[in-house]
Structures are given as C-alpha cells and as structure tokens.
A and B are shown apart, each in its own frame.
Chain A
Amino acid sequence: MVLDIRFVRSGPEGPKDGPLPMSGAMPAGTRGEPEATSWSTLLDQAALASQPSQFAELVQRLRSTVPNDEGIETLWSMVSQPDSRRRWLGVLALGYHRGWLSSRSRVRSMATMASREGDARVRRAMVWCLRQQDEVAAFLADAEASVAREAALGLALNRRSLPAVMQALLLDSSPRPAVEAVLLQRLGELHASCVQALVRHLLRVEGPLCPVRLAAVLAHLPQVPVFQMLVEQRHLPGWSPQDDEDGQLARRWQELVSAAQRVLAEQPRLELVRYLLTRSSETDAFARRHGRFLRGAMQRTEAATGSALIAHLSRLAERASEEGVARLAEPLVELSARLDGESANQARSLLEAWKRRSPRLRLCIYQIENKLASD
C-alpha cells in the first residue's frame, strides 16, 4: 500500500481554509476545497496553452491535485461530452488519478465510451486510462494501430486476457508488428501458472497455427514452466487421450511439444540451464533422460553467463551427493573448455576442488576430460 502524502495537511492546528500549498489557486474538486469550475478551467487553459512551459505547468498542477468525488464527477462529465475540446486531457487526468477505478460500473462505462470513441487519440488515452484492467484486452484488435499498441502495453497479463493475446499473436490474419513486439516482450512477465493455461488454450484453438509465430511465442515465454510442461511433461493440462475422439488434441500436443523442444534447445536462457543443472544434480533419472538436452543447452549458453553458471554449480555441489557432483562434472568440464579469462580460471579451480573430494570423483572427472579432449 502506498500512502498518498502529496496533500498532507499541517495538522489539526494547520490552516483549514484557503488554498493548499501549491502554485496558484487550488483547482476544483480537490480534497477539502471543492470548487465546481476549477478543473474545467485548468483543463481549458491547458488545452489552449500556446507556450510549452505554460502547458507543462498546468499539467503539473493537474497531476498534483487529487480530485475528490466531486472532482471526478466534473472530469467524468467533461469526458462524456463528445464535442469537448478538453476531453483528451480530461481522460488523461482520469488515467492519472485512478481512484474511480474502484467502481466497476465506471470501468465498464469507460470501456464502453472507448469502444464507441471515434477520435483515435482520445480512444488511445481511454485505453491508457484503463491500463491493467481486463477490459483493455478487447482493444488489442482495435483498427487503429496506436490504440492496439497502447492496449498491448496496458494489458493485465492473466488467464482471462490470454485468449486475446493468443488471438493477436497467433491467429490474426493481418500481422501488426508493433503490437506483436510489445506482446512478445511482455510474455516473459507471464506467471508460471499461466503458462499451463496458455498451453491448454492453444490445445483447444481451432485451425492451424503458424509455426514461425508459435516458435516466437514459445521463445518469449518463461522457459522453465514451458520445459516442465512440454518437455518434461510435468503439470500436464487436464485432458486425456480417451476424450480426444478424432486425435486432434494429440496432434496439437505433439505440434507444441516439438516446437518447444526446438525453441528451448536453440535459445536456452540462464534460468533454464540453472534448472536443468539443479534437477540433474538431484535425480539420476532426470540426468539420464535429459542429459542430451542439457549438453546441447550448455553448448549454446553464452560465455557471458559463464560466471553465473559456475557460481550455481558451486552452490549445487555443496549440497549434492558424490553421484550428484559426478553428474555435474560433465557440464562443468564442457563449460570450462569454452570459457577464457577469469571465468575459465574459476571453472578450473572448481573442478580441482571437486577432484579433491574423493578418488572416485577424481577418476570420474579425468575420464570426462579425456573423453571431451578426444572428441
């Protein structure tokens, strides 16, 4: 919770009347000193400002003045007048002072106004005003690219908005690069639990999926939950082959699995490599099943992340069994061969430390080094 101290009064003994300490007169509808016309006056002055400094000063006043209920009403009535010159600024002011968002009916009204708004500039401002609300998702399909992009920026990424996001990224027949770029970038923010919902949604989507677009989506999702679901096949979505009469779900599932395997193998991020190493150190079955994948991922890992991986390997080895360390030795030997400078020294030091843990481990690491050298 954030305490709004912008207009903290000086206390019970402080001034109860007169303007609050800000430049110029107190605008209307502000906390404590409602004045029916000041909001509209300020917006009028800002809308007609011819000097940048004058405009910016007025905006600063509009930003620093918190409207009370009456002020919100004044702004709302301005925004509702279709011919008002002040609408754009009024909408932006409502987008900045967001107390009214606690009223669902207000939110719905704003969404309805935005959907009917003819002026794209005002519509875009309305979408900005509604940012992080579920209603924004509908504007991803807006005919005006700038409005759709604003919706992509302000979208609340959750299970409810996923269908609209997938529609925009995978199913729209007319590509909109500016919107797609924002959505792809934001997919990385998706909570791990939503990845399952996304896969479930993709399983049910009708019609073919473009392989390039699908790969782009998978490449931008958090990699660990994608790996867990589509490669490791944990946390499977709730469907069984018995329910799949025509095999359509099974085909789509295979399509997703092969795309995910390809994308993750080609562009493994640090988070995924860390996960693979952790799980390999913990269980032999995982190391055997995904050993090839881990080797490929280690080979593609950027040298810049070498130090971070060595630190991670060092931490894992501290709590791992001897067998676990032996399973980590191969990735470390491989990594040390690709590094140079300080990182290479760190890797070699860690290997020497592991060799000192037991004769069996020393022999194991020698064998791995010889094997990789002969390859």
Chain B
Amino acid sequence: MDDADSLVPQVSQFLRRTEQHLTLEQKLLRLHVENPFLDEDAVSLAVRTGAAAEQVAQALAALCQQGLLQQAGGRGYMLVPSGLDLLAAQVPGSRLQAATSESLAAAEDDPDSSAWPAPAGGAEAADSWSAQVRQRMAAAIRAIRSAMRGPTPDGILAARAALSEVDRLLRAGPGDGSDAAGPARPTSN
C-alpha cells in the first residue's frame, strides 16, 4: 500500500498521476498527504521535489491561498481539514462514499490489497501501460540525444535515470495496478 492509501484515498487519487503530469503544487500536497507530520520549509521541500526553492515558495503560497495548506508554526506547513474536503469533492467517483472504516482497515492489514480502484478493464490497463512506456521511452531517447550532443555529468545521469524509469516500467508490466510513475510499492519483506 502507498503511504496515503489508507488515509485519504480520494485525495490521493487526485494526486496519483504520473510524476510527469503532477504540478509542483500537487507534488507538495502529495508530500503532506504521504507524511502529514512533515515540517519542512521551502528550501527543504525544494530538495524533496527537485524544484527551485523560489518555485516551491510560490507553490506553497498558492496552496495556502487555495486553503489546502497552512503555515504551521514558524517553519513548515500542514494540511487544512476543510481544504481537503473541498479537494476530495472534486474527485469524480470518489471512493470515500463507499469506503467504510472497516474496509480501509482491512485494506491496510492486507499488504497485497490496494486501496486504489482497480483499472476499469484489462485491455484499458494494458493500453494505459503501453502509452506510458512509449512516453517514457521518448523521454529517454530525448535525454540520450541531449547527453550525446554535449556530454555533461548531469546530462548523462539524467539519461541514465530516464532509462531506469523505462526499465522499471517494463519490469512492472501492465498487470501492475499501480501507477507506473507513482511512488514505489513497498515490498513486504
């Protein structure tokens, strides 16, 4: 299960998209859903998200303005209860209405179960997976081309990261109900 799966599924569902499609604001909100005790300023959150500190500060200000986060003490940020309800209401087919506490608890106790809605159908899941593979491969080719044009350590690392992402996606396969670009599924070791 994912960090936030058992907590606020509809919010997580809203945030659970491929990393490429997540805006910085969504990434920041997701971090606070995954760890609601997170207590970090814009500079630390910039390291977490890989974005510039100025951009993170702007995104945090926007989230505060939208009523989703609020400043906590003098440093970090925390989730705003009413804002989360508003966000949850925006998610179509929210799982929350149907979910009972018992089912959530059961999902949490079973490491193999997913609190996420299953893909609508096998073919649809496979199509979605293929599209993601194509997208990631295109990104990897772009990164490799860029690295070959002017090799820099950062460029080569970026190309390697892109290839690793393709590799991970291929290994996960279409049968994996998890979002390919979402957080890694914990193994029960």
Name A's B-contacting residues (CB within 8 A).
6, 47-57, 59-60, 62-63, 85, 92-93, 95-96, 118-121, 124-125, 128, 143-146, 153, 175, 177-178, 180-182, 184-186, 212-213, 215-216, 219, 263, 266-267
Residues of A close to B99: CB separation below 8 A: 50
Is B64 interfacial (CB-CB < 8 Å)?
no
Contacts A50-B100, A53-B85, A63-B72 given: A145-B184 contact, CB under 8 Å? Answer: yes
User: Can you report 19 A-B residue pairs in the complex whose CB atoms are below 8 A from each other?
Assistant: A47-B105, A50-B96, A50-B99, A51-B85, A52-B79, A52-B84, A52-B88, A52-B96, A56-B80, A63-B72, A118-B188, A119-B188, A120-B188, A121-B186, A143-B187, A144-B189, A181-B161, A185-B47, A266-B152
Residues of B close to A60: CB separation below 8 A: 78-79, 81
Measured in the bound complex, the distance between the Cα atoms of B168 and A177 in whole Å is 12
Q: Is the CB of B8 within 8 A of A52?
A: yes
- What are the 8 closest A-B residue pairs judged by CB atoms, nearest first? A120-B186, A177-B161, A52-B84, A216-B153, A53-B81, A52-B8, A56-B81, A96-B37
Give the contacting residue for A52; candidates B6, B37, B78, B81; CB below 8 A.
B81
Give the contacting residue for A121; candidates B3, B80, B81, B152; CB below 8 A.
B3
Residues of B close to A95: CB separation below 8 A: 37
Residues of A close to B108: CB separation below 8 A: 47, 85
Measured in the bound complex, the distance between the Cα atoms of B6 and A47 in whole Å is 8
Q: Is the CB of A143 within 8 A of B189?
A: yes
Contacts A52-B10, A121-B3, A185-B47 given: A63-B164 contact, CB under 8 Å? Answer: no
Measured in the bound complex, the distance between the Cα atoms of B85 and A125 in whole Å is 25
What's the least CB distance linking A209 to chain B, in Å?
A: 13
The A contact surface, by secondary structure, is helix
Is B170 interfacial (CB-CB < 8 Å)?
no
Give the contacting residue for A57; candidates B6, B81, B111; CB below 8 A.
B81
Q: Is the CB of B164 within 8 A of A175?
A: yes
Give the contacting residue for A177; candidates B35, B39, B81, B164; CB below 8 A.
B164
Q: Is the CB of A48 within 8 A of B8?
A: no
What's the least CB distance linking B86 to chain A, in Å?
A: 9
Q: Is the CB of B160 within 8 A of A49?
A: no
Is B7 interfacial (CB-CB < 8 Å)?
yes
Measured in the bound complex, the distance between the Cα atoms of B96 and A53 in whole Å is 12
Measured in the bound complex, the distance between the Cα atoms of B151 and A266 in whole Å is 11
Q: Is the CB of B96 within 8 A of A177?
A: no
What's the least CB distance linking A288 to chain B, in Å?
A: 30
Residues of A close to B22: CB separation below 8 A: none
Residues of A close to B161: CB separation below 8 A: 177-178, 181
Give the contacting residue for A48; candidates B11, B47, B87, B101; CB below 8 A.
B101
Contacts A50-B101, A50-B104 given: A63-B78 contact, CB under 8 Å? Answer: yes
Measured in the bound complex, the distance between the Cα atoms of B84 and A60 in whole Å is 13
**Residue in chain B with minimal CB distance to A177:** B161
Residues of A close to B80: CB separation below 8 A: 56
What's the least CB distance linking B1 to chain A, in Å?
A: 7
**A59-B37, A145-B184, A177-B165 are known contacts; what are 11 more A-B pairs with Cβ within 8 Å?**
A48-B105, A49-B7, A50-B100, A54-B81, A59-B36, A96-B39, A121-B3, A177-B160, A182-B47, A216-B153, A216-B157
Q: Is the CB of A85 within 8 A of B10?
A: no
Contacts A52-B11, A55-B8, A118-B188 given: A146-B183 contact, CB under 8 Å? Answer: yes
